[in-house]
A and B are shown apart, each in its own frame.
Chain A
C-alpha cells in the first residue's frame, strides 16, 4: 500500500484526512482492534529575568506524532518526530509489530473512513499572534522584579519567569474520532531568596491560565510581588516547626495539593490497573468525611487544567469523584476503560506526542463548605496553619507527603508565630476521613503534575479545610 502524503501547509487540519485514513486503515487491516494517531505542533517561549536584567530568552518549537495500537487489552505505542509518509508508516509498523501484527496489502480494514473534523480550534487560530511577543514579555517580567525590589527587604536574589506554551493537536482514531484543538497555557512566576546572616528564606509563587492570550498583560505584578515579599519577610526569621501529630488547617488555592496528591492520584484508573489504590473496589462506599465533596473537571474557563477535548479526542466533562464522603467514580481514559471497566471521563492526557495518553487529573478540587476560614482556625487549640504549600508526591503504597512553604502555629484558636520546615505526611485512606470542616472560600491555583504520561498542566484547589490530625514532619 502506498502511503498518502501528508499536507505541506504546516497546519494540522482536515487536509491530513487522507494520510490519516491510510494509516488507520492499514492498522485495522493488520488486525488491530483500534488505531489512534496523535499529531502535534508546539511553540514555546520561556523568558527569565534576574534582578533587573533579562538573562534568558528561550524559544522552542517542534512537531511529532504518537501512534497507538490496541489489540485486546494490550497496546503498543510509538512516537516519532518524522511526519513524512515513510516516518509515520515506520512508526505504525513498529507499533503493530509490538503486538505481533504486520501490515498486509490484502487485509480488509473494516474502517469506513474519518467523519467530518470536529474543530475545537476554529476560533483559536490567532491566539499565538495575540500573545505578548518577546519585547512585551520581557518588559512585564522586569516590572515584576522591580516590584520585588521595591516591596521586599533583605533580598539576595529576585527572579521572574514567564512561559508560554502553544500546542496544536489533531487526533484521529479508527473508531471515528477526528478532532482538532489549539491549547494555550501561560504562566508567570516570581521568586525571591531573602537572607540575613544565617537566616534564609526562599519563596516563590506561580500564576497560570489556559486559553487567554492577554493573560500576561492582565497580570498584576504589584500584587504578586506583595504576596511573595510578604511571605519571604515573614518566613525569614521563622523558627523550625516542632514535629508531631496535630490538627492542621490548610488554606485555600494551592492547599488543594493535599487532595491532588493524597487522593486524586488514587482515583486514576492507572492506579486501579496497577493495583496500587486502596479505593479500587469502593465505589458507593464512604472513603472520606461527609464534609468532603470532590470534583475533577476540565470546564472552568481559563483554568490551567481546562481543555476543549482531551488527548484522545473526547470532550471534557465535570466528574464528581466524591459526594459527601462517598466515592462516586474514577478518572478514566481509553485504556483505563478497556482494562478496568470505568467509563471514560475525558481525562486521557499526555505531555506531548512522546507519551501515550493516561488517565490524569484536570481541575481537581474539594468543593466549598458552609464555614468561614476563621471558624476552622478557632476550632483548633494547638495545631498548624498551612498558608502556602510547596510541592508533594504520593508513593506506590498510597503514602503522600508535601512541603509547607509558609506555616503558622495555631494556639487557642488564634494564629501565632510563623514556622518553617514542615512536611505533611500521611495515607489517603486515613486522612480523608479526618477532613472534618470545609470553608466557603473555594479558589483554584495552577500547577504542574508529573506522572506516567509526563508533565501536564493542572489546577488544584479547595476552600480552607481542617484536618483533625496529621503527621507534621519537622525538627
Chain B
C-alpha cells in the first residue's frame, strides 16, 4: 500500500491528484483522460424513545477515471482506493476497458468544461458533532411524541451532517472543484388508536448546516400530517379529480423525466423522440424548467459530471416541449450545447437536477378550470406517492402508485385508508385543471398544488 494518498483529513487534494494521474498516465502511454472524484465525511444519529438507536460516521472517497485509447475509444474504471497503487490500477483498468468502447457513441471532453461557473451561495458550516446532533434529535422526538396521545413512536428518524467535496479534472487542463456542507432531518411518526389501524406520516428538512435546520417546522409538519390521518375511511374505487401536493407532483414528473432526457431518446426508451421538440405535451399554461441553480436547491452542484456548468433550462413552456437535457455526447448528436446534466461513464448518463413547475407567464394558470369546479364534488388530495420504483413504467408512460391523502367532500377532508392512483403521464399532463396556491420549495423542486381531472383511484371499500 502506498503512503501517498490523494485525500487527507481535510478532503481531496486536486493538485496532487492531477500530478499523480498525469505521471501514471504518461508512464502507461495514456495521453487523454479525465477524472471525477468525490470525498465526504458524514455523521448521523437515530433515536428510539429517548435513547440513541444508531450513531454512524463515514469517511468516503471515490474516483472515476476515463481513458481514451489510441483508436479514440473510451474506457472507464471506478475505485475507492485513492492510493498511488489504486490510481494506477484504475487508469490501466480504464485503458483495458477502452478496447470495448462503443465506436458509435464516443464521449469527448465537454466544450464547456472550462467555461465560467455560476457563483452559488452555499455557506460552509462546521459540523456540530454527533453528541449535539443526538441532543437535538432526542429533543425533536420528545416534542413530536408529546403532540398527540396516539403518536407512540417515531420509528424512522435521523439527523445527519455531511461535508463533501467533488472535483473534475481532464488532461486538457480543466479543473472544477466544489466544497459543500449539508444537513438533513427526517421525522416519520407512527400513530395508533385503540381498535384502529396504525397510521404514519413524516417530514424532511434540508439545510447547509445543522444549526440552520428548521427543526420546529419539521416537528410541526410531521405531527400535523400524522394526526390528520387518524380519522380515516376507505374510498370507493372510481375516477376522481385529484389535487397533487407539490411533493407528489414533483415525484411523478421526476419518475417520467425520460420525457426530457436526450439519452433516453437516443436509446429509444423515452416517450419522446428526436422530432418531439416543439410538440405540445401538456396544457397551455404549464411551464417546467430544470434549474439546479435555484437557491432553494440545497446542495446544488455548480457543474455536472463532465465539468459543464449547471444552468436553468426550459423543458416545457406553455405546454410545448422546448429542450432536452443533455450530456456532451447527446448534445453533439442533436447539434446543441451540453446543458449540464451529465454523469460520468463510458456511456454517459443524463438526469435532471431540480424542477421548477408552475404557470406559464401571461396565462391564468388554469384559474378558469378551477372556477368551473363544482363545490361539493368529491376531490382526492394526494399528499405523497410511494413505491415509485415498482409502480412506474417510465418507457410506457403508465403508473399505478399507492398514496397517502384525503378525500375532500363538502370542504371536509378525511384520510383515505389505503388506495392507489393510476394513469398515464401523457394524459395527466393534458388533464391538468389548474394550479392552486404559491409554489412551494421542496428537496426535489419548486411546485404549487396541481389539480388533475379523471384519475383512476382504487380503494379497498
The residues of A that contact B61 with a CB separation of less than 8 Å are 81
Mask of B338-357 contacts with A, CB within 8 angstroms, 1/0: 00000001110000000000
Any A CB within 8 A of the CB of B136: no
CB pair B77 A59 closer than 8 Å: yes
Q: Tell me the nearest residue of chain B to A76, going by C-beta.
A: B55
- 8 Å CB interface, B399-428 against A: 400-402, 418-420, 422-423
The residues of A that contact B130 with a CB separation of less than 8 Å are 97-98
Additional A-B contacts beyond A56-B345, A79-B57 (19; CB < 8 A): A6-B1, A54-B102, A56-B346, A61-B89, A61-B90, A62-B79, A75-B54, A79-B58, A157-B395, A202-B393, A275-B153, A356-B54, A392-B387, A397-B197, A401-B391, A421-B422, A425-B458, A471-B458, A474-B400
Any B CB within 8 A of the CB of A317: no
What are the 4 A-B residue pairs with the smallest beta carbon separation, nearest first?
A473-B420, A62-B80, A243-B458, A391-B390
CB pair A58 B78 closer than 8 Å: yes
Set A77, A84, A354, A425: member contacting B60, Cβ < 8 A = A354
CB pair B51 A48 closer than 8 Å: no
Any B CB within 8 A of the CB of A33: no
Any A CB within 8 A of the CB of B456: yes
Docked complex Cα distance between A395 and B391 (Å): 14
A447 to chain B, nearest CB (A): 12
The residues of A that contact B52 with a CB separation of less than 8 Å are 74, 98
Q: Tell me the nearest residue of chain B to A391, going by C-beta.
A: B390
The residues of A that contact B401 with a CB separation of less than 8 Å are 423
CB pair A77 B460 closer than 8 Å: no
Contacts A202-B395, A245-B460, A425-B418 known; A396 to B1 CB distance under 8 Å? no
Any A CB within 8 A of the CB of B267: yes
CB pair A421 B398 closer than 8 Å: yes
Interface stretch of the complex, out of B93-101, B320-328, B364-372: B93-101
Set A76, A275, A403: member contacting B152, Cβ < 8 A = A275
Any A CB within 8 A of the CB of B396: yes
Docked complex Cα distance between A56 and B105 (Å): 10
Task: List B residues at the A interface (Cβ < 8 Å).
Answer: 1, 5, 7, 48, 51-62, 75-82, 86, 89-90, 93-94, 96-97, 99-102, 104-105, 130, 152-153, 155-156, 188, 190, 197-200, 237, 267-269, 345-347, 386-387, 389-391, 393, 395-398, 400-402, 418-420, 422-423, 456, 458-460
The residues of A that contact B60 with a CB separation of less than 8 Å are 79, 81, 354
A303 to chain B, nearest CB (A): 23
The residues of A that contact B96 with a CB separation of less than 8 Å are 59, 134
The residues of B that contact A94 with a CB separation of less than 8 Å are 57
- A-side interface mostly: strand
Any B CB within 8 A of the CB of A80: yes
The residues of B that contact A134 with a CB separation of less than 8 Å are 96-97, 99-100
The residues of A that contact B346 with a CB separation of less than 8 Å are 55-58
Q: Tell me the nearest residue of chain A to B78, going by C-beta.
A: A60
CB pair A397 B190 closer than 8 Å: yes
CB pair B188 A77 closer than 8 Å: no
The residues of A that contact B102 with a CB separation of less than 8 Å are 53-56
Set B56, B198, B387: member contacting A401, Cβ < 8 A = B387
CB pair A390 B155 closer than 8 Å: no
Q: Tell me the nearest residue of chain B to A100, going by C-beta.
A: B131
Docked complex Cα distance between A396 and B384 (Å): 14
Set B104, B105, B391: member contacting A423, Cβ < 8 A = B391
Any B CB within 8 A of the CB of A262: no
Task: List A residues at the B interface (Cβ < 8 Å).
Answer: 6, 8, 10, 47-48, 50, 53-64, 73-84, 87, 91, 94-95, 97-99, 134-135, 138, 156-157, 193, 200-202, 240, 243-245, 273-276, 354, 356, 390-393, 395-399, 401-403, 420-423, 425, 427, 471-475
CB pair A77 B57 closer than 8 Å: yes
CB pair B422 A274 closer than 8 Å: no
The residues of B that contact A59 with a CB separation of less than 8 Å are 76-78, 93-94, 96-97
CB pair A63 B152 closer than 8 Å: no
Q: Tell me the nearest residue of chain B to A50, going by C-beta.
A: B267
Contacts A57-B75, A80-B58, A134-B100 known; A402 to B390 CB distance under 8 Å? yes
Docked complex Cα distance between A10 and B101 (Å): 29
The residues of B that contact A193 with a CB separation of less than 8 Å are 268-269, 395
B406 to chain A, nearest CB (A): 16
CB pair A393 B57 closer than 8 Å: no
The residues of A that contact B100 with a CB separation of less than 8 Å are 47, 54, 57, 134-135, 138
CB pair A74 B51 closer than 8 Å: yes
**18 A–B contact pairs at CB < 8 A?**
A55-B102, A55-B346, A61-B86, A81-B61, A81-B80, A81-B81, A156-B268, A202-B269, A202-B395, A243-B420, A273-B48, A356-B56, A397-B197, A402-B387, A421-B398, A421-B400, A474-B456, A474-B458
CB pair A274 B48 closer than 8 Å: yes
Set B198, B200, B397, B418: member contacting A200, Cβ < 8 A = B397
Docked complex Cα distance between A354 and B78 (Å): 17
Docked complex Cα distance between A95 and B56 (Å): 8
Docked complex Cα distance between A66 and B396 (Å): 42
Q: Tell me the nearest residue of chain A to B418, going by C-beta.
A: A399
Contacts A53-B104, A59-B77, A80-B58 known; A393 to B97 CB distance under 8 Å? no
Docked complex Cα distance between A48 and B390 (Å): 22
Contacts A57-B75, A58-B346 known; A78 to B57 CB distance under 8 Å? yes
The residues of A that contact B458 with a CB separation of less than 8 Å are 243-244, 423, 425, 471-474
B182 to chain A, nearest CB (A): 18
The residues of B that contact A80 with a CB separation of less than 8 Å are 58-59
Q: Tell me the nearest residue of chain A to B134, going by C-beta.
A: A98
Set B75, B97, B400: member contacting A473, Cβ < 8 A = B400
Set B55, B99, B420, B422: member contacting A98, Cβ < 8 A = B55
CB pair B79 A398 closer than 8 Å: no
The residues of B that contact A6 with a CB separation of less than 8 Å are 1
CB pair B420 A200 closer than 8 Å: no
A55 to chain B, nearest CB (A): 5
Contacts A56-B346, A390-B390 known; A396 to B190 CB distance under 8 Å? yes
> Which of A8, A91, A200 gathers most chain B CB within 10 Å?
A200
CB pair A475 B423 closer than 8 Å: yes
B86 to chain A, nearest CB (A): 8
Set B55, B97, B396, B422: member contacting A202, Cβ < 8 A = B396
Q: Tell me the nearest residue of chain A to B61, going by C-beta.
A: A81
Q: Tell me the nearest residue of chain B to A245, going by C-beta.
A: B460
CB pair B422 A423 closer than 8 Å: yes
B1 to chain A, nearest CB (A): 6
Docked complex Cα distance between A193 and B7 (Å): 44
